[in-house]
Structure 1
Amino acid sequence: MNNYKKCIALFLKRFLLIVLIYQLSRALFYFMNLDLFDTFTFQTFIGGLFFDFAAISYLNIIFLVAHLLPGNFKYSSSYQRVLKIAFYVVNLLFIATNFIDIIYYRFTSRRSTFGMITAKGMEQEAIGLIPSFLAEFWYIALIFIAISILFWKLLPDLNKNITRQDITKKDYVLKFSYLALSIVVLLILGRGGFQKKPIKIVDGIKYGALSNTALVLNTPFTILKTIAKKEDIENTTYYNTKELKSIYNPVISLNPNKPAIKKNVVILILESFGNENIRRGQTPFLDSLITKSYYFKNGFANGKVSIDAVPSILSSIPSLMNNSFITSSYSLNKINGLPKIFKNEGYKTSFFHGAFNGSQNFDQYAKVAGFDQYFGKDEYTGKEAFDGRWGIFDEEFLQFYAKKLTSFKQPFFSSLFTISSHNPYIIPEKYKGKFPKGTTVIQESIAYSDYALKKFFETAKKQKWYNNTLFVISSDHTSAGGDQEADQTNIGKFRIPILFFDPSNPELVGVNEKNFQQIDIMPSILDYLNIKTDMVSFGKSYKSKDNFVVYYLQGTYHYIKDDYYLAFANNQTIGLYNWKKDVLLEDNLINKDKAKVKEYEKFIKAYIQSFNERIIYNKLAL
């Protein structure tokens, strides 16, 4: 029995060593992203430990069995060597995900999930970006290598001088009892305790401020929690059908009393052009264009990654799932977005993206959405302009775009997604030193993309189609960091520039201070052009009296109406703030304005139910 107890002790030592490494990775996660979190408290530490035990327990149940299965076979040196290597490799692989998120969190504002790391169309992208990430964040790689070596050195071995003992029937019964009890303990730790349901990602909110949930969680946990999820959302039944429609109905009917305006429509989606870059002076051309446009000062993104922006902008489908719509199990749902609506109006439709074909599943989305043509890196023609990693530099691809638009029969509807301000932020050699470096690594490439945009408009102005075109410009999401505290709140993380520019309409100029988001772009364009149509849109037209936005991030729904912001998670409100006065979201009004909480909760529940039902039952098109 003494030998068996040594095996139990060996597993416990190895288990606790993993726990210690998780704490170290959380400390690095915090200190490397200090400006993105609130104060690290004891409550944060306890919550983090809670989720660490859950992830480590699930991952190591098989190793528990391998350590404690009764029998003398497990005392052989070859068995112990294989067991040690397997334990090391599996746990190190998941520890690595924590280290990856130390940097990746800056871009997504959430812990990575299984859907994020395995999304179809992302394989080549990951391969292309790994070298640039390693070059830019080499110190993380070095720390990880050091941890890996230390982990192996500290991983204890079974006593080599162990003497084999005869095992009686009574010993087998006792040892199997120990094994069963140990499995039960790990299962309890894995599910987070004795409560009715196992802990979920959203439960991270219980252990600190909303902005600290990613600090409480660990990446192995979020991956394990999403690995078996075939579906991304659950059907919710807050209200019956009649009640639901009376509170919120996403069906919009446009019935103008004027004839349709057959203008061309060009939507330019700018990579990472968040508000934090606009005010820094990195975008002189876009700044000048804003003064000639109808500018939505309080513009918001519907997601934190590029693949969330495309369906939001072009099909008015928000990102209210942990997986992006494009990569979810609903990606082939029937949708009736701008491409199909414009096609019915006689428009030629096209989508352009300068990265390699298949990047971020945009080519697949283009087919599902109904675009006539897709133009990626493979379709580019012009002088050599490959950035060596990602795709075609923005300047050359935008010039190619202008040339293609000129070849299209009018009216046309087209959208382009820029790429040069995406990591690895490569700009052409000839422009090194031309643009301001700024305070973060992305800002020089933002300035270059702004310059490329300027050159595009200079070319477009000379074309016959220019004055008959409505240009819509939106960022896809904010960038990795901001130089003000307000940039890191759950408001600041989503604020982006959105503007409408019609060179032939001097009346479409000014600043709109209403709350406006990417999913509002589709109904607004159609309303502006007097196009008669019925559609499912989770946004609203710029002419609407409604003044709300809704977005989602890893278990929490964010609802803004007028001057107030409500955070809703786990079927309950967790925060209410006056975001105009309290820009850092420090004064939680949840217990001070219960009437507003009730009003806002009623709407957000209806909004969630409407979205979930239409996604699940494939009712995004009428």
Structure 2
Amino acid sequence: MALQYFARRLAPSFVVFILVQFVIRLIFTVWTFQNLGFANIVKSYATGIVFDLATYSLFILPYIAYLLVLPTRWLNTRLDRIATHICFVIFAGMVIFDIASEYAFWQEFAVRFNFIAVDYLVYAREVLGNIWESYPIVPLTLGILTLVGIAYYFFKDTLLPTQVPNITLQSKASVLVGFLCLAFGGFYAVSLDFKNVTDNNYANEIAANGIYSLFSAFRNNELAYKKFYITYEDITHSDLPATPPRLVRAARPEMRKNVIFIVMESMSAAYMNRYRSNADFTPNLDALAVQSLNFSNMYATGTRTVRGLEALTLSIPSSPGRSIVKRPGNENLFSLGEVFHDRNYHNKFIYGGYGYFDNMNYFFENNGFDVVDRVDMSDDEITFSNVWGVADENLFAKVITEARADSQTGNPFMYMVMTTSNHRPYTFPENNAGIPTEGGGRIAGVRYADYAIGKFFESAKREPWFENTVFVIVADHTAGAAGKSSLPPGRYHIPAMIYAPGMIAPREVEKVASQIDLPVTLLSLLGFSYKSEFYGQDILDEAFAERAFIATHQKLGILADDKVTFVEPVKKYGIETASGDVMAASEVEPKSLTDVVLSYESASQWKRNHKKLATTLIGAVTSSLQQ
């Protein structure tokens, strides 16, 4: 009788929870239906029940504790009824709110909550501001409250059974043990990996439970490579070879040119006419590509801004879990900033937002850069801003102001400039080449980002430092990397070009290359000789081996010959084709697997292998020998 009583008290919340999770899955199924297939849908929903049960058992624990602690004589009293009704309303509000939040997250990333959501929770101002500026908050809130009211109306008379049986301490103990077994079983026995029941990434994400995924991400936002991944020792039965610094000898005299990296937020190659014939979103970038050393098969290493900045600054493949930019112990690393700093360049990271976000300021300040962010911009320098930062026009105007001042010092400068306008909520100044500022969405953001960079170069060409400056234009990542497979190469394809009229001849380089190769290629073009710990290669070198590193926060791969060889937890590996098919692990070539493992395992030891070292002495000796 006691068990039946407690079950009846839990029944309304259980029904609401399961119904809401079904609605969420149904929304995602409709959204991705053409990429699923009936068999995958059945597997997703069957697996989803397991996740939902595990999640509910954890989610409802506080209320279970309340019921077991409450003396039997107080059950069904007025105080108990008030507390139970309040708890139900709060519970219903939380799970119904989950529909809206998961919908928004899926719209942006096409996955359930993951470590990105965990990171975002740390930066409440930016995230809440982004939500406020991107979505109709008042109608959404009214809608959620209405649904909560409807749920309460249907269940208010069934929240408490009419009669309370004789409940002994032994009965309560039995209920407690049973529920703890269920809850801890859900916590320890059910792994997020259980969602991978098909070869279809969309189906696997639908199978998961967003709330469970969020809390799982809290537990696993950093992954120890040796613990979770196949290692070099597993393959070869020998220790991982050491990676000592190597001497890079330039084939040309060193040029002391200014350098400006323009890292464009979420700029997929697919938005450019060069890669999609019916696109007319980026006339300025398309024109610059023709006038530049254009790398037409460049791939981002990851799916977030900090991954792009990590690749361009450290020239290192992704480590599983968080980016190095956000990890402790990321000071004094061997970075692009240090290579230029050793040559008396004035380095700056220039960002239109607040650089404390994602730990960017700390990372750059401790790796050879000064920081200029929104805090350093006066009111008269800002004509428009949103939660992420100032408009790209204002950012680029600040770049010109900084360059104008630094060019007077007698030393060259190197800037890493990070844009923000091509990011939800996609808002920017009005009256810009007819680009809609209301309801334009991502394409409007792309158009404005292109407009702003075109306007920047119009202004920069009038500056005396322009002719002595090399510009590197590259995206941090694409607009979305999710697809049928978990590492779809096309979703990592980004624009990348080096623009320096009169210094670097325009041409197209079709080699498959990685973001981490771009800084090394730039240093080669500048004639820098240095001692290096970079993983990237000079793309223009005849010996360049075509491949690209692409990864999620857990799945680490190398793209070569239209196939992605990958490793993932727990000690798994395999191949995905460019079309999204997953091949058996037995078909992985030993050399391909060794290359992936060697690269990523070594990169995961960045605290030991990627420390700052001096470069100027080696460069001077090498230059004197050449002369």
TM-score under structure 1 length normalisation? 0.85
Quick check: 2:261–2:473 contact (8 Å CA) kept in 1? Answer: yes
Quick check: 2:252–2:527 contact (8 Å CA) kept in 1? Answer: yes
Question: Which of 235, 258, 266 does residue 226 from structure 2 map onto?
Answer: 235
Change (3 A) 1:74 1:600: farther
Deviation at 1:474, TM superposition (A): 0.7
Q: How does 1:189-338 map to 2 (within 5 A)?
A: 189-191=186-188, 198-229=189-220, 231-236=222-227, 238-240=231-233, 243=238, 249=243, 251-256=245-250, 258-279=252-273, 280-328=279-327, 330=328, 332-338=330-336
Question: Which of 506, 511, 514 does residue 508 from structure 2 map onto?
Answer: 511
Paired letter, 1:326: V
How far apart are the structure 2 equivalents of 1:522 and 1:76?
Answer: 70
Q: Tell me, which stretches of 5 or more residues in structure 2 are unaligned?
A: 274-278, 614-627
Q: How does 1:563-578 map to 2 (within 5 A)?
A: 563-571=562-570, 575-578=574-577
How far apart are the structure 1 equivalents of 2:284 and 2:423?
Answer: 19
Paired letter, 1:605: V
Quick check: 2:317–2:535 contact (8 Å CA) kept in 1? Answer: yes
Deviates more, 1:448-457 or 1:90-99: 90-99
Quick check: 2:299–2:513 contact (8 Å CA) kept in 1? Answer: yes
Aligned match of 1:195: none
- Aligned pair count reads 596
SS, match of residue 500 in structure 1? strand
Deviation at 1:486, TM superposition (A): 9.1
Deviates more, 1:454-463 or 1:354-363: 354-363
SS, match of residue 608 in structure 1? helix
Aligned match of 2:8: 9
Aligned match of 1:125: 126
Deviates more, 1:273-282 or 1:116-125: 116-125
CA RMSD of aligned residues (A): 3.4
Change (3 A) 1:230 1:595: closer
Aligned match of 1:553: 552
TM-score under structure 2 length normalisation? 0.85
Aligned match of 1:369: 367
How far apart are the structure 1 equivalents of 2:589 and 2:439?
Answer: 39
Deviates more, 1:265-274 or 1:153-162: 153-162
Aligned match of 2:603: 611
How far apart are the structure 2 equivalents of 1:13 and 1:121?
Answer: 33
Aligned match of 1:403: 401
Aligned match of 1:479: 479
Deviations 1:4-57 (A, max 9, x none): 522223224422431221111222233346578676610111122222222222
Paired letter, 1:608: Y
Paired letter, 2:559: I
Deviates more, 1:48-57 or 1:79-88: 79-88
Q: Does 1:527 align with 2:524?
A: yes
Paired letter, 1:128: G
SS, match of residue 494 in structure 2? coil
Quick check: 2:384–2:390 contact (8 Å CA) kept in 1? Answer: yes
Deviation at 1:517, TM superposition (A): 2.1
Deviations 1:433-468 (A, max 9, x none): 713899972112211221111111112112222222
Paired letter, 1:105: W
Change (3 A) 1:349 1:242: farther
Change (3 A) 1:110 1:518: farther
SS, match of residue 75 in structure 1? coil
Q: Tell me, which stretches of 5 or more residues in structure 1 are unaligned?
A: 192-197
Change (3 A) 1:230 1:22: closer
How far apart are the structure 2 equivalents of 1:619 and 1:91?
Answer: 49
Deviations 1:306-327 (A, max 9, x none): 2322222122244433333333
Paired letter, 1:518: Q
Change (3 A) 1:17 1:333: same
SS, match of residue 454 in structure 2? helix
Deviates more, 1:203-212 or 1:512-521: 203-212
SS, match of residue 442 in structure 1? helix
Quick check: 1:25–1:99 contact (8 Å CA) kept in 2? Answer: no
Paired letter, 1:233: A
Deviations 1:67-107 (A, max 9, x none): 35584133333134324433542564365345313122333
Aligned match of 1:585: 580
Change (3 A) 1:37 1:102: farther
Q: How does 1:425-504 map to 2 (within 5 A)?
A: 425-431=426-432, 434-435=434-435, 441-480=441-480, 490-504=488-502
Change (3 A) 1:389 1:610: closer
Quick check: 2:320–2:555 contact (8 Å CA) kept in 1? Answer: no
How far apart are the structure 1 equivalents of 2:283 and 2:362?
Answer: 34
Deviations 1:319-369 (A, max 9, x none): 4333333333x3634312111110101101111111245344332222122
SS, match of residue 584 in structure 2? coil
Quick check: 1:121–1:361 contact (8 Å CA) kept in 2? Answer: no
Paired letter, 1:262: R
SS, match of residue 291 in structure 2? coil
How far apart are the structure 2 equivalents of 1:138 and 1:489?
Answer: 37
Deviates more, 1:56-65 or 1:372-381: 372-381
Deviation at 1:619, TM superposition (A): 4.4
Change (3 A) 1:37 1:164: closer
Quick check: 1:302–1:517 contact (8 Å CA) kept in 2? Answer: yes
Q: Percent identity?
A: 19
Deviation at 1:600, TM superposition (A): 2.2
Q: Does 1:536 align with 2:533?
A: yes
Change (3 A) 1:87 1:332: farther
Q: Does 1:184 align with 2:181?
A: yes
Quick check: 2:564–2:575 contact (8 Å CA) kept in 1? Answer: yes
Change (3 A) 1:153 1:95: same
Aligned match of 1:379: 377
Paired letter, 1:304: T
Change (3 A) 1:211 1:24: closer
How far apart are the structure 2 equivalents of 1:495 and 1:143?
Answer: 39
Change (3 A) 1:161 1:19: closer
SS, match of residue 352 in structure 1? strand
Deviates more, 1:12-21 or 1:433-442: 433-442
How far apart are the structure 1 equivalents of 2:244 and 2:62?
Answer: 48
How far apart are the structure 1 equivalents of 2:4 and 2:484?
Answer: 54
Aligned match of 2:625: none
Change (3 A) 1:30 1:334: farther
Aligned match of 2:103: 102
Deviations 1:523-549 (A, max 9, x none): 222222222223333433313522222
Paired letter, 1:524: T
How far apart are the structure 1 equivalents of 2:535 and 2:98?
Answer: 34
How far apart are the structure 2 equivalents of 1:267 and 1:204?
Answer: 40
Paired letter, 1:161: T
Deviations 1:540-587 (A, max 9, x none): 3313522222222243223212322234323455652442xxxx324x
